[in-house]
Amino acid sequence: VTRNVPDPIADKNTRTEDVTPTATTCKATTRPPTIRSPSPVRPNRSAAVTAGEGEEGPEGEGPPVDEMKEVVLHVYDVTNSDSEKTNNTILQINRIFKDRIGLGGIFHSAVQVYGEEEWSFGFCENGSGVFSCPVSKNPMYTYRERIVLGETECTIATVNRILRELSRDWPGHSYDLLSRNCNHFCDVLCDRLGVPKLPGWVNRFANAGDTAVVVAENTAVKVCI
């Protein structure tokens, strides 16, 4: 699968800056992760990434920028197989092992900060694997839930710089289902933003390896039967 990777969040004052060799990190004010119902998606607002911190965007463009520091994790069920049977099996795995047991499942994740785009990582043969799409609207997967991880103290310019650095460090060809997937990327991005990493259940099956996935799949098939 090959995708056109959009530029990271654009800031008119930082778009042409060189990426500094020193990794950018920030501290944050955080609170325990809480699950909320998915909110309606509003139009993408370029003003959110060009207005000064704490300033209002143009009339009708939404809240001040400092109200958009909230870092939100968006979680999807992985239902991108051409086989309906496989997709249904994955949904069943997630219902059993996440919803009933709380152990984990097979999930895609993306991080939202400053605006109405979510950022994630996936395979492509050439270029960066880092990409964005409208919040909760990734067409490859089935949207599940949103989890508020905290509030970043990073400015928009710093977030831009972090995304540029990660876009360079995470080429699409380096994707690996078990050791370097979208959830690993989101962990790194959250760490750089200074908020808690993903809840353990999001990537637990990948961390456990192939055996866990096989066992889960066999269990789900038996339950379905």
Domain boundaries, the chain: 62-224
Q: Is the dihedral of CA 21, 123, 16, 149 positive or negative?
A: negative
Flag the least confident range among 37-41, 60-64, 78-82, 120-124.
Answer: 37-41
For residue range 154-192, list pLDDT tens digits in order: 999 999 999 999 999 999 999 999 999 999 999 999 999
DSSP symbol at 215: H
Q: Tell me: pLDDT of 138 over 70.
A: yes
The span from the CA of 74 to the CA of 44, in Å, is 17
For residue range 10-50, list pLDDT tens digits in order: 443 333 333 333 455 554 444 433 323 333 333 333 333 33
The predicted pLDDT at position 25 comes to 53
Query: Mean pLDDT across the stretch 68-82?
Result: 94
Q: Is the dihedral of CA 123, 132, 11, 166 positive or negative?
A: negative
Q: What percent of the chain has pLDDT over 70?
A: 62
For residue range 81-99, list pLDDT tens digits in order: 999 999 999 999 999 999 9
Superfamily classification of domain 62-224:
PPPDE domains (3.90.1720.30)
**Catalytic residue flag (residue 133):** no
Q: Tell me: pLDDT of 139 over 80.
A: yes
**Catalytic residue flag (residue 182):** yes
Q: Is the dihedral of CA 24, 49, 147, 96 positive or negative?
A: negative
DSSP symbol at 16: T
Q: Which of 154, 182, 186, 190 is catalytic?
A: 182
pTM of the predicted structure, to 2 decimals: 0.69
Query: Which one, of 213, 171, 158, lies nearest residue 24 by Cα?
Result: 158
Beta carbons of 126 and 143 less than 8 angstroms apart: no
Query: Which one, of 142, 158, 129, lies nearest residue 11 by Cα?
Result: 158
